[in-house]
A and B are shown apart, each in its own frame.
Chain A
């Protein structure tokens, strides 16, 4: 244990000697949170709606109005004499409108006679998820409209209550996710160069012949960066809290405790890559590939894990971000407590221990061979 300290101290002087990289490490995550925090959103408002009203009656105008009274739909104005199915077809193809509503000419008569009538909705289905939501909106608004004429309210009683994010804004879904993705990337990047750098400069030989044991070197290299990574995290969370107004409902200490585990996982991953890669360039490339892509695609960052195919869902179980994402969203947005995530925390700890053990073994082997 006593010999770990000098290793840590040595790594620290490495960090301090290279202020340029340190600045990048701190500035880049903030920049990314800033851009993506604004840019990534699923919110589907202002759906461009074209209307072909053949009924031209008070009731049909009321019906159209009920679609435009909320923020979901935006009316696309078309000149009266140009209102032909052809034109709407063109607009649909060009993407100027996403939906065309067609009201038949006998619409108002049928309703007055209390007979069933149909309204056509042509939806641009290219983006299947948006089309799905548009379809749901149609059904909901149409049904609410019928209630003025028919007493269906008592038959269909459905109340929806949304917890944790009552305004249903997707920004608060993405920002904690970004924290998870960036944190893993930064911590793995920090350590990924630590050993490959020594190998490139040849100073690794000095470490090989020193009396320090392999596990002490590996632990020292890992621990030295915990402090830096934790600072990056605090910075990201403070920025998200005060710039984007992300609600922090849970206990911040709980979050920090779990983050420590997660950072440790990222750092050990970086060390392992550093040992395995022949040079710094390769180490960096592998780190970016291994941390970025799976954390974005396989962790539930953008798309829910439940819609992945079973094989890919299996893979998602070995992605550290999967667990931390659950924790950070739980603690920040839902105010969940430590006990809710003991299992996830344990898995992260287990992962970092396994990674460290592999690193130590690999390092000792390299040491014996002197490469």
Chain B
């Protein structure tokens, strides 16, 4: 019963801060939409230069295919050689595609140009993809062309893309954004909650009350948990409706895993709150933790190839498990039998964080 009053008080405190209400209800919608556009990572419009030193008619047709492709943004076409190194150094184009006549003595029956792709390797990911695209365009052109002479390559790969057939990056990123959003809101607000009371010295009133430490703890966590879940629902709906992302799996496990994750983040936030002596410090720590959680979660970059020495950092990162589970539910429609291990790991981490957090909270209260 006493607990209920505390929860009510915490709720009033949250709702009294108008800007906080804005942060919790309106901001998620804007954030999800904005982030959705930001993390659309389809590599396209790669800026390139073309140098055509070839006299083949085929070259012109290959060039047209490159120009008409949405994958490339052809900046300039030269018909004389250029200083490629200098151009790439300036960084205005990512690649230079150079066509030359094929002067091989052992010429085949048909003339195709010899192609050279000069890449700016700094952004290894984009340049690899760019090279692949050029290769693909030219290969497809030649295969189409020699087909007319009854010739074709012996083996042709027949790809079948599962789970995301149109290869939309938002389908992969969208669900992750919801997890991201959940973390940002929950961590910042809880990490400030106790410190604020410390700074305003209202903490003493709370300590004088007959509430047990664990009751105070729950009273602090529950209202934020409810707010977090509301945000989760908003986030999921915005992502699904605005970006047209299919949800193939069960909503039940989506919310169950989010709830477990939310518990972990809330306990972590309260832990930061216990240790910080000013709101500035707690903001700083939450920020640092959040960036670490995000960058090591597999949201933006794959985590499979992280070196062994750093591996454990990924393994103890609760966000990583949530993102993995959410993606499986959204994209693959997986049931619990596929991700129970991740769910258990997430649960274990949550229990550890919560215990540490409650332990320190009790010690802090009794002091």
Contacts and interface: CB of A to CB of B under 8 A. Distances in A.
A226 to B, nearest CB: 22
A146 B154 contact: yes
B280 A284 contact: yes
B167 interface: yes
Contact of B42 (A121, A128, A142): A128
A150 B153 contact: yes
A158 B97 CA distance: 10
A173 B122 contact: yes
Given A128-B171, A281-B280, A146 B153 contact: yes
B301 A42 contact: yes
A330 B108 contact: no
A117 to B, nearest CB: 6
Contacts, number: 291
B288 interface: yes
Given A119-B158, A131-B164, A156 B112 contact: yes
A236 B268 CA distance: 29
Contact of B332 (A45, A93, A142): A93
A154 B163 contact: no
B305 A128 contact: no
B333 to A, nearest CB: 8
A77 interface: no
Contact of B124 (A32, A121, A168): A168
A136 interface: yes
B85 interface: yes
Nearest to A90: B338
Chain A, interface size category, equals 35 or more
Interface stretch (B88-96, B202-210, B223-231, B252-260): B88-96
A170 B280 contact: no
B169 interface: yes
A116 B303 CA distance: 39
A38 B306 contact: yes
A243 interface: no
A93 B338 CA distance: 7
A155 B157 contact: no
A251 interface: no
Contact of B157 (A121, A132, A280): A121
Contacts of A124: 162-163
A55 B356 CA distance: 57
A161 B172 CA distance: 31
Interface string B243-272: 000000000000000000000000000000
A126 B89 contact: no
Nearest to A48: B304
Given A39-B306, A156-B112, A156-B138, A162 B160 contact: no
Given A41-B301, A161-B119, A138 B292 contact: no
Contact of A162 (B89, B119, B291): B119
A140 B108 contact: no
Contacts of A307: 40-45
A111 B155 contact: yes
Given A42-B301, A139-B136, A307-B45, A149 B167 contact: no
Interface string B125-143: 1111101101110110010
Nearest to A303: B41
B326 to A, nearest CB: 11
B155 A118 contact: yes
Nearest to B192: A281
Interface residues of B, number: 102
Interface stretch (A208-216, A254-262, A334-342, A354-362): A334-342
Interface in A85-130: 90, 92-95, 110-111, 114-130
A95 to B, nearest CB: 7
B284 A41 contact: no
A285 B85 CA distance: 43
A333 interface: yes
B139 A139 contact: yes
A288 B279 CA distance: 14
Contacts of A160: 116-117, 119, 131
Contacts of B334: 93-94
B328 A149 contact: no
Contacts of B296: 35, 39
B82 interface: no
B142 A173 contact: no
B157 A139 contact: yes
B152 interface: yes
Contact of B117 (A135, A136, A159, A340): A159
25 contacts: A39-B314, A94-B338, A95-B328, A116-B152, A117-B154, A119-B155, A122-B162, A124-B163, A126-B172, A128-B164, A131-B167, A136-B129, A136-B136, A138-B157, A140-B135, A142-B157, A143-B139, A169-B124, A172-B122, A173-B123, A280-B280, A306-B45, A306-B94, A334-B91, A334-B122
Interface of A: 24, 28, 32, 35-36, 38-46, 63, 90, 92-95, 110-111, 114-133, 135-136, 138-140, 142-143, 145-146, 149-152, 154-166, 168-170, 172-173, 280-281, 284-285, 288, 292, 297-298, 302-304, 306-309, 312, 326, 329-330, 333-336, 340
Give 10 nearest A-B pairs by CB, closest first. A136-B132, A165-B121, A125-B164, A125-B161, A162-B121, A128-B167, A42-B125, A157-B114, A168-B124, A306-B45
